């Protein structure tokens, strides 16, 4: 049962319970100056960087230059193309052009010939390419800023500092099992960055995020996320908000830009796409879980929202 009051942070925390960060690959990169190494451009993948030894410049897709120092971490949730540089005038090479030596199952080491000497490399970077799995909250990714710096969270989240210190030690000392430890620390720090952004108000939130932050409207949104397969009526959702149907429907449309019925349908189809592609669930079972008595009706709704039939999801991420 929903509690009598769901505040902004409680609603956000509840909807983030299903958040998963799945590491696609990780790279420990040692470089001597001058260097430029390019990342990004894979749809649906975030990019994380930790600077074990710096300084390093981050150049974003819109040509902004952000200085990163030793111990800094940054998350680019949308994975837009970007470059790590020793100086602004260096021509970059794509990270996939470098020879990578496996360290363990998902972590590789990049140590170009230019840094193959016995001297300490100028830069040491631990990078992770990750896939967000946010279920019904998948639109959250597109609402995030292009670059999220961990330094902006340290005052509110002091638990990050020992994690960053541990990453610096593990990346530099290369003790037994260091590669796997770095990968897990990268996952945890990335998740805390996302949570910190949500708990601080999601920036200039609009649409359904703004609705989530509404103390009364947020209860109705959480209810739909809790029970997406329930045959919700506008009257039942209005009860969650504690208002009449007309007031609820008008408020929902004004804040989120869509009707409650459309919101619920889009939520269901995002979950369906995830369950079919990631979990391998059958289309029939997903349709039933989400409250559709007719497979044809489910397939029509899925194609209208996702843009392709549910059967196309079977090969996504395989």
Q: Is residue 206 part of a domain?
A: no
pLDDT tens track for 25-47: 899 999 999 999 999 877 778 89
Residue with more model confidence, 174 or 204: 174
Q: What are φ and ψ of residue 289, in 5° steps?
A: -60, -30
Q: Are 141 and 134 in contact (CB under 8 A)?
A: yes
Domain boundary among 166, 200, 234: 200
Q: What is the pLDDT of residue 244?
A: 93
Residue 56: strand pairing partners? 68
How much is the pLDDT for 1? Answer: 25
Instruction: State the CATH number of the domain containing residue 227.
Output: 1.10.10.60
pLDDT-based confidence at 12, cuts 50/70/90?
low
Report the Cα 30 to chain-centroid distance in Å. Answer: 26
User: Is residue 205 one of the residues assigned to a domain?
Assistant: no
Q: What is the pLDDT of residue 234?
A: 94
Instruction: Looking at the structure, tell me whether residues 92 and 161 fall in a common domain.
Output: yes
Residue of 168 and 136 predicted with greater confidence: 168
In-domain check, residue 63: yes
The pLDDT of residue 64: 93
Which residue would you say has higher pLDDT here, 114 or 287? Answer: 287
Question: What confidence tier does 206 reach under pLDDT thresholds 50, 70, 90?
Answer: low
User: Of the residues 149, 178, 200, which one is the last residue of a structural domain?
Assistant: 200
Confidence of residue 8 (pLDDT cuts 50, 70, 90): very low
Query: Does residue 209 form part of some domain?
Result: no
The answer to whether residues 287 and 188 belong to one domain is no
- In terms of domains, do 80 and 123 share one? yes
**pLDDT, mean of residues 304-308:** 91
User: What are the start-end ranges of the E strands in 82-235?
Assistant: 82-85, 93-94, 100-102, 107-110, 123-133, 148-149
pLDDT value of residue 284: 94
Q: Which pLDDT score, from 0 to 100, does residue 195 have?
A: 79
Its domain, for residue 48, covers: 9-200
Q: Are residues 193 and 305 in the same domain?
A: no
* In a shared domain, residues 237 and 275: yes
Is 60 exceeded by the pLDDT of residue 229? yes
Are residue 225 and residue 151 in the same domain, yes or no?
Answer: no
Check whether residue 120 and residue 257 sit in a common domain: no
State yes or no: pLDDT of 318 exceeds 60.
no
Rounded to whole angstroms, the Cα distance separating 49 from 148 reads: 11
* pLDDT range class, residue 115, cuts 50, 70, 90: very low
Report the pLDDT value the prediction gives residue 316, as an integer from 0 to 100. 57
Q: What residues contact residue 37 under an 8 Å CB cut-off, 6+ apart?
A: 29, 31, 83, 84, 85, 92, 93, 94, 95, 98
Question: For the residues 107-117, what does the mean pLDDT come to?
Answer: 70
Same domain, 162 and 297: no
- The answer to whether residue 52 is domain-embedded is yes
Verify that 184 and 278 share a domain, yes or no.
no
Specify whether 292 is located in the same domain as 237: yes
- Whether the pLDDT of residue 292 is over 90: the answer is yes
At a CB cut-off of 8 Å and minimum separation 6, what does 18 contact?
133, 134, 135, 137
The arithmetic mean of pLDDT across residues 67-96, rounded, is: 92
Q: Strand (E) positions, the chain?
A: 20-31, 36-39, 45-53, 56-59, 65-68, 73-76, 82-85, 93-94, 100-102, 107-110, 123-133, 148-149
| 104 phi and psi angles, rounded to 5 deg | -155, -165
> Do 96 and 151 have their domain in common?
yes
Mean pLDDT throughout 178-187?
A: 89
Number of folded domains in the chain? Answer: 2
Name the β-bridge partners of 241.
Answer: none
Indicate if 192 and 232 belong to the same structural domain. Answer: no
Over residues 190-219, the mean pLDDT reads 73
58 and 148 Cβ atoms separated by less than 8 Å? no
Helix (H, G, I), strand (E, B) or coil at 105: coil
Tokens 């990268």: give the residue. 186
CA distances 18 to 12, 115, 165, Å, are 11, 41, 28
CATH assignment of the domain containing 51: 2.60.120.10
Q: What is the pTM of this model?
A: 0.74
Is-contact 141 197, C-beta < 8 A?
Answer: no
The percent of residues above 90 in pLDDT, for the chain, comes to: 38
85-106 per-residue burial string, b: 16 or more CB within 10 A, e: under 16? bbeeebebeebeeeebeebeeb
The overall average pLDDT reported for the chain is 83
pLDDT band at 104 (very low <50, low <70, confident <90, very high): confident
């Amino acid at each position: 049962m929903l509690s009598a009051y769901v505040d902004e942070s409680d609603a956000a925390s509840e909807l983030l319970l299903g958040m998963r960060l799945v590491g696609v690959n990780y790279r420990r990169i040692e470089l001597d100056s001058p260097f430029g190494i390019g990342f990004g451009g894979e749809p649906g993948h975030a990019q994380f960087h930790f600077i074990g030894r710096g300084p390093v410049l981050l150049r974003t897709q819109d040509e902004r230059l952000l200085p990163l120092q030793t111990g800094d971490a940054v998350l680019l949730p949308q994975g837009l193309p970007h470059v790590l540089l020793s100086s602004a005038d260096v021509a970059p090479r794509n990270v996939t052009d470098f020879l990578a030596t496996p360290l363990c199952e998902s972590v590789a080491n990049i140590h170009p010939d230019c840094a193959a000497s016995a001297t300490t490399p100028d830069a040491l970077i631990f990078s992770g390419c990750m896939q967000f799995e946010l279920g019904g909250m998948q639109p959250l990714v597109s609402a995030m800023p292009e670059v999220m710096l961990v330094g902006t969270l340290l005052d509110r989240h002091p638990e990050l500092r020992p994690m960053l210190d541990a990453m610096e030690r593990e990346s530099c000392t290369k003790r037994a099992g260091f590669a796997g430890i770095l990968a897990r620390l990268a996952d945890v720090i990335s998740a805390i960055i996302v949570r910190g952004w949500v708990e601080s108000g999601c920036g200039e939130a609009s649409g359904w995020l703004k609705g989530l932050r509404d103390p009364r409207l947020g209860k109705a949104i959480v209810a739909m996320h809790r029970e997406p397969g329930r045959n919700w009526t506008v009257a039942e959702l209005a009860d969650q908000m504690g208002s009449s149907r007309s007031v609820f429907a008008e408020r929902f449309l004004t804040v989120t830009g869509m009707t409650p019925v459309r919101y619920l349908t889009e939520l269901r189809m995002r979950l369906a796409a995830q369950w079919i592609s990631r979990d391998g669930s059958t289309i029939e079972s997903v349709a039933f879980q989400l409250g559709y008595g007719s497979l044809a009706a489910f397939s029509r709704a899925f194609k209208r929202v996702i843009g392709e039939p549910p059967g196309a999801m079977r090969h996504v991420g395989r």
